[in-house]
Structure 1
Amino acid sequence: MKKKTLVNKIHKIYVILLFLFFYAPVAVMVVFSFNTSKANVVWQGFTTKWYSKLMGDSELWKIFGTTILIAVLTTVFATLIGTMGAIGYKKSKSRFAKLITNSVYFPIVIPEIVLAVAMFMIFNTAGISLGVPIIVIGNTTICLPYVYITVKSRLVGMDPSIEEASLDLGADRVYTLFHVTIPQIMPGIISGAFMAFSLSLDELIVTSFLADAGTTTLPMKVYSMMKKGVSPEINALTTIIFAVSILGVAAYLIFDAVKTHQDAKAKHKLVDL
């Protein structure tokens, strides 16, 4: 009994230390973004002037708009392609389906620097101008596997009898897809979309290789500022990026909670009938 209690205590301490390792630096970054001193060593007082300075920077707003545009477009394309790919894999009976689905995982296992150089060489050799559209293609390539995996896992857990019942009742395959299959896997689609948005939002390596001289994203801006040393402006900027990501996660959690509640109510109604 004592041995089990000791193991539980060690496990709790390990979890706490793990959380501190991951989140303590983020907490320090957020706190020092409100520091009056430009030094990140000593706390001298509370201020919001660094945020005011960033908000008044027209160039930064342009960079922020570019970053959000790239993230949104990447999310749309990665979600559409990843969802269609996962559904196609489930429906396909081809012996090459397994080979094709394994190739989707390549962007996850291949180092990003390798992907970035390869894509740069392809577009450069083809004479295609770099910029936002090419960055979206590159980011979509990276984010696609994550959408595919989340949607595919949702499809695997889906009861096939639901689709069969729809077809038996006279619905065609298109109607069944949009009114039965997609609503069932929507939580997986939303999860993949938020993951794609988050990954695209902080993508640096591929974006740096595929950006032209007039295109800058927030991660690229932070990296260029870091070369001059860590400052409260950097802390404030990264805190804003962090806040955007947190808002995205919060939106998903709210959506998931509402969806779960609606599904539970629907099941209760069916039971009552």
Structure 2
Amino acid sequence: MAQNKRRKKRKVFSPIYLTLVLIILYLPILMVIIYSFNSGRTIGSWQGFTTSWYSRLFSNALMADALKNSLILAVVSALLAGGVGTLGAIGLARSHLKFGGTVETLATLPMMIPELVLGMAYLSVFTAVGFKLGMGALILTHTTFCIPYVFINVKSRLIGMDPALSEAARDLGANPMRVLKDITLPLVFPAVLSGMMLSAAMSLDDVVISFFVTSAETTTLPLKVYTGLRSGGTPEINALSTLMLGVIFICVALSQFLTAKSNAKLK
């Protein structure tokens, strides 16, 4: 009897708890989206629906330049991270190193180190070697912290692969390169794309590391949002934030879809 009462309480309180958590998580985001269509300039006072802030945003040359920089940075970083992370995961899986666990930890370490520490470290290195801050420095730093996302994705897919496939190919006379090209890469490719989508999302979202290694001539959308909010915030910032949320949501959704597709292929 007492157990049935506890179950009934759980059934009542579980949806309430879940609803409260979702409200806490997504209400601030929803407010930004709603007020990006507000004709007034102040948050908290709804004065009518408009899309004029989006029009102004697209006609702003500085915003357009920041958008171009962010897209170039996200695409190049994701491609480089995809190549390095994939080769690293495959190499580690095939090598059977005695200290493979240590190597794997080191490969994923950049995603565990605080961004503030990483940004300061990159700035120190670039200053010490005389490397010019700007797009080149941004690409190097973003590639570095994006590699673990691809590495983890591909490594998990490799663990789920049936080793009999590669063994059968080798028994039939295929060399290691042929096995890699015809068996391994096609099977892990959805995981590679998933990791790259996630990397692009992380690149588009980064503020702290970019703040340390960017230059006055090379600004990104997240930095534009940050500086705009520091100066008091404008409705254009709400519109820009909404667009960024949309792009990041698409990248994460594609990542999840490709991960599910990769899992289904291995079953």
Q: Separation in 2 of the partners of 1:5 and 1:73?
A: 53
Q: Is the contact made by 1:143 and 1:196 (CA closer than 8 Å) also made in structure 2?
A: yes
Q: Separation in 2 of the partners of 1:141 and 1:154?
A: 21
1:88 is matched with which residue? 91
Unpaired segments ≥5 residues, structure 2 = none
1:177 is matched with which residue? 180
Unpaired segments ≥5 residues, structure 1 = 268-273
User: Number of matched residues?
Assistant: 264
Structure 2 counterparts to residues 100-119 of structure 1, below 5 A:
100-119=103-122
Deviation of the 1:2 alpha carbon: 2.8
Counterpart residue type for residue 245 of structure 1: I
Alignment RMSD: 2.0
Counterpart residue type for residue 126 of structure 2: F
1:2 is matched with which residue? 5
Given the alignment, which residue of 228, 232, 236 partners 2:231? 228
Instruction: State the percentage of identical aligned residues.
Output: 36
Q: Separation in 1 of the partners of 2:217 and 2:139?
A: 15
Deviation of the 1:250 alpha carbon: 4.3
Pair 1:46 & 2:54 matched: no
Q: Separation in 2 of the partners of 1:222 and 1:120?
A: 22
Could you tell me the TM-score, scaled by structure 1's length?
Answer: 0.90
1:52-87 Cα shifts (integer Å, max 9, x gaps): 100111221111000100011110111111111111
Pair 1:37 & 2:40 matched: yes
- Residues 114/152 of structure 1: CA separation in 2 closer, same or farther (3 Å cut): same
Counterpart residue type for residue 73 of structure 2: I
Pair 1:140 & 2:147 matched: no
Structure 2 counterparts to residues 61-72 of structure 1, below 5 A:
61-72=64-75
Deviation of the 1:251 alpha carbon: 4.1
Given the alignment, which residue of 146, 164, 168 partners 2:171? 168
1:248-267 Cα shifts (integer Å, max 9, x gaps): 34445665677788x59xx9
Secondary structure of the structure 2 residue equivalent to 1:40? coil
Deviation of the 1:97 alpha carbon: 2.8
Q: Separation in 1 of the partners of 2:96 and 2:259?
A: 32
1:135-181 Cα shifts (integer Å, max 9, x gaps): 11111111111211111111111111111112122222111112111
Secondary structure of the structure 2 residue equivalent to 1:25? helix
Instruction: Report which stretch shifted further, 26-35 or 165-174.
Output: 165-174
Counterpart residue type for residue 168 of structure 1: D
Pair 1:241 & 2:244 matched: yes
- Residues 151/229 of structure 1: CA separation in 2 closer, same or farther (3 Å cut): same
- Residues 111/249 of structure 1: CA separation in 2 closer, same or farther (3 Å cut): closer
1:10-35 Cα shifts (integer Å, max 9, x gaps): 22222222111111111111110000
Secondary structure of the structure 1 residue equivalent to 2:215? coil
Deviation of the 1:51 alpha carbon: 0.4
Pair 1:214 & 2:222 matched: no
Instruction: Report which stretch shifted further, 124-133 or 161-170.
Output: 161-170
Q: Separation in 2 of the partners of 1:194 and 1:107?
A: 18
- Residues 176/66 of structure 1: CA separation in 2 closer, same or farther (3 Å cut): same
